[in-house]
């Protein structure tokens, strides 16, 4: 099968690789570009561990061919910290609130949370849970992930995060 050159902007940089049409975007990112932060957790498009941001949309990169994303603007977990290495509010929130354990769902979760907060900067707990319903986690039971996202939302709004009393 002949290879075709697929280019897109990834984390602000112009990237290009020769791939088959059937090469999944997740493999393009992980294998061709060496960006192994996004993960594969299933084969039926349910788990969301592969979630990245494509042209302003949360996308499961395992359910898109790289060729479909030609010319797109893509943001992955590797692009979330600042150029100076400063962590984003979400990355800080996940650590502060113990929103991760094994770390495998975390990049997809953070990338989805990123777009969620762009859609809705001040989501309620229910909106957060619906907002991340395309991302599965086996370790945390989601409760601290919700807190992590609330922390980030508060920080991005210049506020201090206060945990709700139990």
Range 63-102, binding other proteins (CB under 8 A):
63-65, 67-68, 76-78, 80-81, 87, 91, 94-96, 98, 100-102
For residues 107 and 49, what is the distance between their CA atoms, to the nearest angstrom?
Answer: 7
Q: How far is the CB of 70 from other proteins (least distance, A)?
A: 8
Q: Could you tell me which residues come within 8 angstroms of residue 63 by beta carbon, excluding any fewer than 6 positions away?
A: 24, 45
For residues 27 and 95, what is the distance between their CA atoms, to the nearest angstrom?
Answer: 28
Residue list 100-119, contact with other proteins (CB under 8 A):
100-107, 110, 112, 116
HSE-CB at 121 with a 13 A cutoff on CA atoms is: 7
Pick the binder of other proteins from 47, 74, 89, 117 (CB under 8 A). Answer: 47
- 42 binds other proteins per the rule CB under 8 A: yes
Beta strand pairing call for 51-54 and 4-10: unpaired
- 161 binds other proteins per the rule CB under 8 A: no
Q: How far is the CB of 83 from other proteins (least distance, A)?
A: 13
- 51 binds other proteins per the rule CB under 8 A: yes
Q: How far is the CB of 66 from other proteins (least distance, A)?
A: 10
Pick the binder of other proteins from 37, 73, 156, 161 (CB under 8 A). Answer: 37
- 3 binds other proteins per the rule CB under 8 A: no
Residue list 120-159, contact with other proteins (CB under 8 A):
128-146
Q: How far is the CB of 14 from other proteins (least distance, A)?
A: 20
Query: Which of 56, 57, 39, 36 shows the shortest CA–CA distance to 48?
Result: 39
- 18 binds other proteins per the rule CB under 8 A: no
Give DSSP secondary structure letters for 13-37.
Answer: EEEEEEE-TT-BHHHIIIIIS--TT
Question: Containing H/E element for 7?
Answer: strand 4-10
């Amino acid at each position: 099968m002949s290879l075709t050159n697929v280019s897109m902007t990834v984390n602000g940089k112009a990237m290009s690789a020769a791939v088959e049409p059937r090469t999944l975007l997740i493999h393009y990112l992980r294998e061709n570009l060496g960006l192994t932060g996004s993960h594969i957790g299933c084969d039926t498009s349910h788990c969301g561990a592969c979630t990245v941001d494509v042209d302003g949309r949360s996308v499961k990169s395992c359910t898109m061919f790289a060729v479909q994303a030609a010319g797109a603007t893509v943001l992955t977990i590797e692009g979330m910290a600042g150029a100076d290495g400063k962590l984003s509010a979400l990355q800080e929130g996940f650590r502060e609130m113990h929103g991760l354990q094994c770390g495998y769902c975390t990049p997809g979760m953070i990338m989805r949370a990123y777009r969620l907060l762009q859609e809705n900067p001040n989501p309620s707990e229910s909106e957060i849970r619906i907002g991340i319903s395309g991302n599965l986690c086996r370790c945390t039971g989601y409760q601290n992930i919700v807190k992590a996202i609330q922390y980030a939302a508060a920080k991005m709004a210049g506020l201090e995060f206060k945990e709700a009393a139990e």
